Amino acid sequence: MKNILLLGGTGFVGSHVAEKLARLQWRVTVPTRRRVNARHLQTLPLLEVVETDVHSEVALTELVKGHDAVVNLVAILHGNEQAFQKAHVALPMQLARACSAAGVSRVVHISALGADAAAPSVYQRSKAAGEQALQSAGLRLSVLRPSVIFGAEDKFLNLFARLQQVFPVMPLAGGATRFQPVWVEDVADAVLRCLQDDSTIGHTYEACGPHVFTLKELVQLAGRLGGANNGQGRPVLPLPLWAGQLQALLMELAPGEPLMSRDNLASLQVDNVASGRLPGLSALGLTPETLSAVAPSYLGRRGLRTGLLAMRKTAGRF
């Protein structure tokens, strides 16, 4: 039995990883600032929720002690440069020091496809800096770089499906940018393969699905599968860059988490597809599922946790 510290375990991907670790009967520690954020995980066997702040280096060092490996899934999609620096760079640096102090060297880090120090967006550059911080620390490190991740609880295809239930047209900048969407279950399986196979140490894997779509095609697919406009989806209105930047700025100024930011728009300047220079999911013995096989089962409906989590919810055990 292994003992895993799962950073970001309450999130979209982290919840699926936690469920799979539970099936293996491994012990899992999931830190969170507020215990209520982990209520959907608390009935998983051998999983402990710890209420703490992982951005505190003292707290993080205490958390790491006694574990066989750490999985880092902490990430944000929106924010200013300071926020990206804190989540994607400072935390990995603190994690490296905490691992050194605790004598724990095995780390699986989930980065992002497009992580590049010369990338156009702060998000992408901060992801590259976080990778570098861990790679230079002498850890037994495996890195996964997923493309956009889809699944019943995603905030990507579900968002476009919901918007098309409201708006008669979909104004869209960067519609020609290409993506290679990957199923959340495949990403979670990749994490487990890395934890189980020491031959993955020192390698970076591009976690991508089998098919490439433009952003426009993904928006149209979400609309159709979500049932908008009697299953036809809404017309997509291409926006020039300046109009897209204005739209993103207005969304940033709106209350709550923005649907789109100017940094998101900057990231659309480069395609989000496998480079072919790094191994993919097949190198981990995985055959990624297609978007067309999974998305119809959840788009347009309220996403439910799958597997063990869904059964517990259905049984009224939450």
CA dist 223 → 181, 220, 259, 264 (Å): 16, 5, 17, 21
Q: What is the largest CA-CA distance in the chain?
A: 59
Q: What b-and-e string marks burial along 32-52, b requiring 16 or more CB atoms within 10 Å of the CB?
A: beeeeebebbeebeebebeee
The token pair at 53 is 């702040």
Please determine, for residue 318, whether its predicted confidence score (pLDDT) is greater than 50: no
Is residue 125 domain-resident? Answer: yes
Q: What is the pTM of this model?
A: 0.91
User: What are the helix and strand counts (H, E) for the chain?
Assistant: 12, 13
Is residue 257 domain-resident? Answer: no
Q: What is the pLDDT of residue 1?
A: 63
Is residue 114 domain-resident? Answer: yes
Q: What is the pLDDT of residue 257?
A: 80
Nearest-5° Cα angle at 209, 70 to 68: 10
Give the residue-averaged pLDDT of 254-275: 90
Rg (CA), the chain: 19
Give the residue-averaged pLDDT of 157-174: 93
Per-residue confidence band for 312, with pLDDT thresholds at 50, 70 and 90: very low
Higher-pLDDT residue of 305, 211 = 211
DSSP β-ladder status, 236-238 and 182-183: unpaired
Least confident of 116-130, 200-214, 248-262: 248-262
Q: Does residue 19 contact residue 8 with C-beta atoms inside 8 Å? A: no
Is residue 165 domain-resident? Answer: no
Domain count, the chain: 1
Q: What is the pLDDT of residue 270?
A: 96
**Segment 289-308, tens digit of pLDDT:** 999 999 999 995 633 333 34
Distance CA 309, CA 42 (A): 10
Distance CA 231, CA 4 (A): 44
Q: What b-and-e string marks burial along 104-119, b requiring 16 or more CB atoms within 10 Å of the CB?
A: bbbbbbbbbbbbeeeb
| Runs of H (alpha helix) within the chain | 12-23, 57-64, 81-84, 91-102, 122-135, 157-163, 184-196, 215-225, 241-253, 262-267, 291-294, 307-314
**Segment 218-246, tens digit of pLDDT:** 999 999 999 999 999 999 999 998 898 99
Is residue 83 domain-resident? Answer: yes
Is residue 261 domain-resident? Answer: no
Is residue 110 domain-resident? Answer: yes
Is residue 191 domain-resident? Answer: yes
- Domain of residue 190, CATH code: 3.40.50.720
DSSP β-ladder status, 178-179 and 213-214: antiparallel
Please determine, for residue 62, whether its predicted confidence score (pLDDT) is greater than 90: yes
Domain containing 71 equals 3-147+182-208+274-284+305-314
Per-residue confidence band for 311, with pLDDT thresholds at 50, 70 and 90: very low
